[in-house]
Amino acid sequence: MKKIFFILSISLVSSFVKAQTGIGTTTPVNKFDIFAVKANPATSGATANGNLRLGATVGDHVLDFGLSSSSTYSWLQARNKTAYGTYYNLVFNPNGGQVGIGTNSPATTLTVGNADGTIGGEILLNPTSTQYEGGQLIIKRSLIGSTVDWTIDQYGTTSSNARLRIFNGNSEINGIAILENGNVGFGTATPSAKLNLSGGGIRIHTGFGNSTSRPALNTSTIGNYEIRGTGGFSQLDATDDGFLRLSAGGGTSSGAQVSIDLSGYSQNSEMNNNIVMRTVGVERFRIDEYGRTGIGTSSPWSKLHVQSSDGNTVYIESTTADNNGMMVLNANTSQNWSANWHEFIYFRNQGNNIGSIIGSNGGNMVSFNTSSDYRLKTDLKGYNGLDLVNKIKTYDYAWKRDSSRMYGFVAHELQEVIPYLVSGKKDAVDANGKIIPQSVDYSKLTPILVKAIQEQDIKIKEQEESIKKLNDDNRALEQRITFLENLIKSNTNKN
C-alpha cells in the first residue's frame, strides 16, 4: 500500500511540474500567467492597482507591476502600499553588471539600442518642471581632482533666450549655451552671433616649432592652423570665393567699430582678393589683388599709394644714434643709367609732374628738378636782377641750437623782396605755442642771381669799352704830345 501511494505521489508531482499555472486564466501559456483588470498606476490611495506586487512582511514599500488601461504600455512602480503618492527608488544591478535596453549584449553600464541599428539608441529627457526647465542630465565629478558637478539641460523663459546649457555647478557662464537660432556662447548665456566668446580667448595649437617651414597654401582642405571664410552655397573648403571679417566694437554704431576684411574671389571688383582695414568704420588700409597697397584710398595704383587730407601724410622718425639712412631709394639695376631714366621721386599736382629727383650722369649723380617747360609759361617779361639782389640783406649768423655759423638770409626780410622764395608766415606758432618756422628755397634765387650776373656782365663790358676808348684816346693824346715835343725840340735846335 505504501508503495502504491509513493508511485501516485511521484506521478502527481511530475504532472504538476510539467503543467502551466494560471491566475485569472484557465488557459495559461507560460509556466506562470497572471491576468487581471488593466489599470494605470494610481497616484493616490491604497486600493488594488496593477497585476503583480512584490512586498515584504515588514515595511510599507512595495514594487507593483501593471498594464495600462489607457494605452499599450506596461509599468512598474516602487511606492508605499498604504499611500500610492509616496514614491521610492528603483535600483537596477546595485552591485554591478550592465543594463541593456533594446539589446541583449550591453557594452556599458547602460546601453540603449542594438549595434545593428535596427533598434534605435535614443533617449528622451522630458521637462524637469512645469515652467522654464527642460530635460536635464547631471554628470557627477570625479572622485579625485574635480571640484564641481556638470549639468546638461535645456532652459529658457522665452523663445529668444531658450537654450541648451552645458555648465558646472559654479555658474552657467562656466560653460556653453546654444540658443534655438543656432547661436553658440562660451562664457555667456545670451550669444548674439553664431559663435560668441566672453571672458576668454582662442588658442590654435598647430604643432609648429621654431624651425618649421611655412606651410604651403591649402586649397581643397583647411589646415589645422587656419581660420577660413568660405563662400557660395556649398560652404566647402575647395570653393574660391569667401569672406571673413574680424571686428571689434560698433555694437550700436559703425562709427565705433574697427574691422579687418579678408575677401577671396569675387565678381564684385571692389571685393576681389583683397584685404581691407578700418577704424571708426572708415577704410584706412587696403591691399588689392595685384599687391598694391593703399593708405587712405580704396583704389591704389602703385605698390604704395598714400592719400590724406592731413597736414602731414607721412612721418618718418629715427631714434638711433646713427640713422644710416632714414629712407633708402635703391635702383638695383645696371640698365638705362646713361639715358637718365631712373626717377627716384616724382612730384605731381593733380596728376601732372611738377618736379622729380632722378639719377643722372650715368648714375653717378642725383638731379633735383622742378618743372620749367615753355609750354607751361606765358607773359614772359624782363626784370632787373641786380636791383633785387641789392635789396636782399645777407648775414653771418649762428644757429641757436648748436651755435654753428653760416651765411644766409632772414626769411621774413627776404619775403619782403621776393615773396615766393619764402614759405610760412612771420612769428607763426601752432596751437601749443610751438614755433612754425619760415623756410627759404635757395634754389629759386638762382635765376635772379644769373640775371644779376648778366646785368653786371653788361655793365662790365660797357665799362671795358669805355676804358678801352679812354685808353685809345690817351694813347692818341700821348702820340700828339710826343709829336709836339719833338717838333718844338727840332725848332729849338735850328735857332
Pairing of strands 304-306, 293-295: parallel
Do residues 369 and 389 both lie within one domain? no
What is the pLDDT, as a whole number, of residue 495? Answer: 67
Nearest to 245, CA basis, from 219, 283, 218, 216: 283
The whole-angstrom distance between residue 338's C-alpha and the CA centroid of its chain comes to: 47
- At residue 244, the 3 state secondary structure works out as strand
- Domain enclosing residue 258, as ranges: 243-306
Contacts of 307 (CB under 8 A, 6+ apart): 294, 295, 296, 297, 313
Coil vs helix vs strand at 103: coil
DSSP label of 273: T
Of the residues 351, 373, 395, which one is the last residue of a structural domain?
373
Integer-rounded Cα Rg, in Å, for the chain is 53
Number of domains in the chain: 4
pLDDT value of position 310: 82
415 in any annotated domain: yes
229 CA to centre of own chain = 12
pLDDT tens, position by position, 5-55: 444 444 444 444 557 899 999 999 999 999 999 999 999 999 999 999 999
Q: How much is the pLDDT for 235?
A: 54
Contact predicate 54/45, CB 8 Å: no
Q: Which residues of the chain have pLDDT under 50?
A: 1-16
Asked whether residue 85 is domain-assigned, the answer is no
Residues 251 and 183 in one domain: no
Q: Are strands 61-67 and 422-423 parallel, antiparallel or unpaired?
A: unpaired
Domain for residue 430, yes or no?
A: yes
Q: Is the domain of 151 the same as that of 189?
A: yes
Q: Contact, 196 vs 204, CB < 8 A?
A: no
Each residue's pLDDT tens digit, 357-408: 998 888 888 999 999 999 999 999 999 999 999 999 999 999 999 999 999 9
Residue 182 and residue 192 in contact, taking contact as beta carbons nearer than 8 Å: no
Same domain, 366 and 394: no
Q: What is the largest CA-CA distance in the chain?
A: 230
Residue reference for cell 557594452: 107
Please report whether residue 378 resides in a domain: no
Q: Is residue 89 assigned to a domain?
A: no
Burial class of 274 by CB neighbour count within 10 A (0 to 12, 13 to 18, 19+): buried
- Indicate the SS3 state at residue 419: helix
Q: Where are the alpha helices (DSSP H) in 287-391?
A: 385-391
Q: What is the per-residue pLDDT across 181-191, written as a single tens digit (0 to 9) for each?
A: 999 999 999 99
Check: CB of residue 307 under 8 Å from CB of residue 295. yes
Last residue in a domain, options 280, 306, 332:
306
Domain final position from 175, 201, 227: 201
What's the CA angle centered on 413, arms 412 and 414, to 5 degrees? 90
Q: What is the pLDDT of residue 327?
A: 85
pLDDT at residue 493, rounded to an integer: 79
| Residues 284 and 350 grouped into a single domain | no
The residue type at 192: S
pLDDT at 296: 93
